[in-house]
A and B are shown apart, each in its own frame.
Chain A
Amino acid sequence: MINFFGIVGTLMAVIVLWAAVEPVHAMHIAEGILPMGWAVLWFLASLPLIVVGLRNLRIRSEKEPHLKALVGLVGAGVFIISCMPIPVPTAGTCSHPCGTGIAAILIGPTLSVVVSSVALTLQALFLAHGGLTTLGANTFSMGVAGSFAGYGIFVLARRLGASWVISAFLAGLISDWATYGVTAFILTGALHFEGSFWKMFVTICLAFTPTQIPLGILEGFVSAGAYSFIHSRRPEFLQMLAKGGAA
């Protein structure tokens, strides 16, 4: 009972303190920026992976009864992390990590796509962070690109013999950079019109650089720290990785 009220109280205190801060928007593409055709295209690109993720959730939760609760917890983490503005002195702007790298390691990339889409939907509905028409594009950049890039580099690094701390660091780093790289790609595709695609793409990537290079490194450390903490305190959460079930 004490635990229950302690958790509820802590959660509410964190949420109230966080809500008292003026909302700051970061990577998400805002409502109305993408022309409707492009918005629909990115919805269609994201939808199959969300469907596969939901199917995986159903199948895996029959074998692992704790999975749904863990997915909910990871989803809450992705929601908070992808809203949290962090000031970056090198750029004089704020940006946020994505959390999809560590999420993909813990629950698998397809489930990470699902939790990202839920987090982005809530942010679009209640925080004016992103938008409903741009939900598909934001899900693709943060959910699909971030999750698969992070998970892919984690697996690759492990197979190449890197330690798990380095692998988790790389997952956080690459998932962050992949998210912003794909955001630049989506924007360029929709907005370059008759201009040079690659020139605009490189320009947007360079504009992200002062913020995202340090923030990506920070996300790498956060991912490595989170993985290290879970590995030492709750290693059973990582059993699905050992079973090869995090796909």
Chain B
Amino acid sequence: MKKLVAGVIVALIVGTALGYFLQKDAKWVGTDEAVIEKFAKDAGRQPSEPFINVDQGDLLLFCFLVAGAVGGFIFGYRYRELFPPKSEPVERLPHV
């Protein structure tokens, strides 16, 4: 199983690298632009600007730093709730 997973990961990395060189014209746009927005435009619907646009200068980075700091603090503060010390071995699970 481990060899299979490792093989798939290597194949994906190699495939991605090969694809990058073989499809240099591809812009690697998201499927929303390639599919969803294409069909929406064909139907006469245009995506509008977001109500809150933080993608201006370093504003996005600031938001992520604040969110990361707050999230990291909460995660660390409640670390023992999430990863309690092991008390006794868990019996074999029936897995539903």
Contact = CB atoms under 8 A, between A and B. Distances in A.
Nearest to A191: B43
A131 B71 contact: no
A19 B47 contact: no
Contacts of B82: 66, 69-70, 73
Given A30-B37, A33-B47, A16 B31 contact: no
Contacts, number: 208
A162 to B, nearest CB: 10
Interface stretch (A48-56, A110-118, A142-150, A234-242): A234-242
Contacts of A43: none
B15 to A, nearest CB: 5
B96 A158 contact: yes
A27 B81 CA distance: 34
Given A132-B51, A158-B95, A191-B40, A30 B90 contact: no
Interface string B16-47: 10111011011111111111111110010111
Interface in A2-56: 3-5, 7-9, 11-12, 14-16, 18-20, 23-35
Contacts of A185: none
Contacts of A211: 31, 34-35
A27 B34 CA distance: 10
Contact of B45 (A28, A191, A203, A238): A191
Chain B interface size band reads 35 or more
Nearest to B59: A126
A165 B77 CA distance: 33
A155 interface: yes
Given A15-B68, A16-B68, A242 B95 contact: yes
Contacts of B57: none
B10 interface: no
A246 B82 CA distance: 17
Interface in A149-169: 154-155, 158-159, 164-165, 167
A208 interface: yes
Given A94-B31, A221-B8, A11 B68 contact: yes
19 contacts: A7-B75, A11-B68, A12-B65, A12-B72, A24-B29, A25-B32, A30-B32, A34-B45, A72-B75, A89-B15, A89-B20, A91-B34, A92-B25, A127-B54, A127-B60, A208-B31, A218-B8, A225-B5, A241-B95
**6 closest A-B pairs (Cβ-Cβ)?**
A89-B19, A92-B26, A32-B48, A8-B72, A15-B68, A30-B47
